[in-house]
């Protein structure tokens, strides 16, 4: 905390030099401690964002960080209830609930989604860091179950572990080898956004077997790519998805149910196409990237003198 105090003093000096009177901290971890110290030392005010999937993951000193913030944004109703319970009366008076959202102008298909042609493999794509909380082991088991049913399922997973490939990546490699899925499951590692979107474009289904989420931006991006999506009903995912209407939610740690739903879509291309079309419409309605910008603008206008007029001019 002493080191963060020194950083807060530096932030105060920089803000004074630059003429800043507010800093938005897009987290509520140590960066929020730095902003809090800067504000306590007479520097700019600050706001913060809670992304999840939990509050505990953002470190100690939460009540103090929230108490001195001008306002906060939280990405889901579920996390809003967590903040009410854990932060209580130390929450700022202004809290806006807004998902991160995705830029629909940037994330769009070049060609319409198509189901697998006769005799073609069923391509499944997933995206998420290689961490046990993402449930990739359950997704690999899902592929094994699909193949046992005679469906030639092929899975690509984009993402890397926190150790640069020497941690959970190795455990997943061993699982893939143990199940004899070396030719069916590919761990792509850390790849570019363009390569992720290429993988989404080529895939027939997006799947994610997470054990916990805030509201997953990876799922939003897959839905924005207008494709069938099958993911676990964890965290705030049910705030994004109405199961059966715009995507499919399944229980966590139940690969047999995920396999059943993917097999059902494989057997019913018309239903898969309907879900694909509904998925992008859902994101366009409520999870576009302007939502988070609007939440920040509203928080500034309500808490920072002169901000409303400045935003109107801008």
Write out pLDDT tens, residues 89-142: 999 999 999 988 899 999 999 999 999 999 999 999 999 999 999 999 999 999
| 112 located within any domain | no
Predicted local confidence at residue 288, as pLDDT: 87
Q: Do residue 68 and residue 189 come from a single domain? A: no
Predicted local confidence at residue 88, as pLDDT: 96
pLDDT digits (tens, 9 = 90+) for 171-202: 999 999 999 999 999 999 999 999 999 999 99
State the Cα–Cα distance between residues 256 and 134, nearest whole angstrom.
Answer: 17
State the Cα–Cα distance between residues 155 and 208, nearest whole angstrom.
Answer: 11
What is the average per-residue pLDDT within 4-33?
Answer: 97
Cβ atoms within 10 Å of 96's Cβ, excluding its own: 20
Predicted local confidence at residue 202, as pLDDT: 97
Q: Name the domain count of the chain.
A: 2
Domain that holds residue 12: 2-99+289-313
φ, ψ dihedrals at 98, nearest 5°: -155, 130
Predicted local confidence at residue 240, as pLDDT: 94
Is the pLDDT assigned to residue 214 strictly greater than 90? no
Q: Do residue 179 and residue 128 come from a single domain? A: yes
Q: Do residue 53 and residue 130 come from a single domain? A: no
Q: Do residue 80 and residue 134 come from a single domain? A: no
| 105 located within any domain | no
Mean pLDDT of the chain: 95
Query: What confidence category does residue 215 fall into, taking pLDDT thresholds of 50, 70 and 90?
Result: confident
Query: What confidence category does residue 246 fall into, taking pLDDT thresholds of 50, 70 and 90?
Result: very high
| 108 located within any domain | no
Burial of 4 (0-12, 13-18, 19+ CB in 10 A): middle
The pTM assigned to this predicted structure is: 0.83
């Amino acid at each position: 905390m002493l080191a963060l105090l020194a950083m807060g003093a530096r932030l105060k000096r920089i803000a004074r030099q630059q003429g800043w009177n507010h800093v938005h901290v897009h987290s509520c971890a140590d960066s929020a401690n730095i902003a809090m110290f800067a504000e306590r030392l007479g520097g700019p005010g600050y706001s913060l964002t809670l992304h999840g999937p939990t509050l505990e993951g953002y470190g100690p000193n939460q009540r103090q960080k929230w108490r001195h913030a001008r306002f906060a944004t939280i990405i889901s109703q579920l996390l809003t209830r967590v903040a009410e319970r854990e932060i209580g009366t130390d929450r700022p008076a202004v809290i806006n609930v807004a998902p991160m959202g995705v830029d629909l102008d940037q994330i769009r298909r070049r060609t319409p989604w198509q189901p697998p042609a006769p005799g073609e493999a069923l391509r499944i794509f997933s995206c998420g860091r290689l961490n046990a909380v993402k449930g990739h082991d359950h997704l690999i088991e899902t592929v094994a179950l699909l193949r046992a049913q005679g469906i030639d399922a092929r899975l690509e997973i984009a993402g890397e572990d926190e150790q640069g490939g020497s941690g959970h990546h190795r455990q997943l490699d061993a699982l893939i080898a143990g199940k004899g899925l070396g030719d069916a499951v590919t761990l792509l590692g850390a790849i570019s956004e363009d390569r992720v979107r290429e993988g989404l474009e080529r895939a027939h289904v997006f799947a994610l077997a997470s054990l916990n989420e805030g509201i997953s931006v990876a799922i939003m991006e897959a839905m924005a790519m207008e494709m069938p999506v099958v993911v676990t009903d964890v965290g705030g995912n049910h705030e994004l998805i109405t199961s059966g209407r715009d995507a499919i939610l399944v229980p966590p740690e139940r690969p047999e149910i995920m396999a059943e739903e993917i097999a059902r879509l494989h057997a019913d291309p018309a239903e898969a196409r309907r879900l694909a079309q509904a998925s992008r419409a859902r994101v366009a309605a409520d999870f576009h990237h302007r939502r988070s910008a609007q939440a920040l603008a509203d928080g500034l206008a309500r808490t920072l003198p002169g901000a409303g007029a400045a935003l109107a001019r801008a």
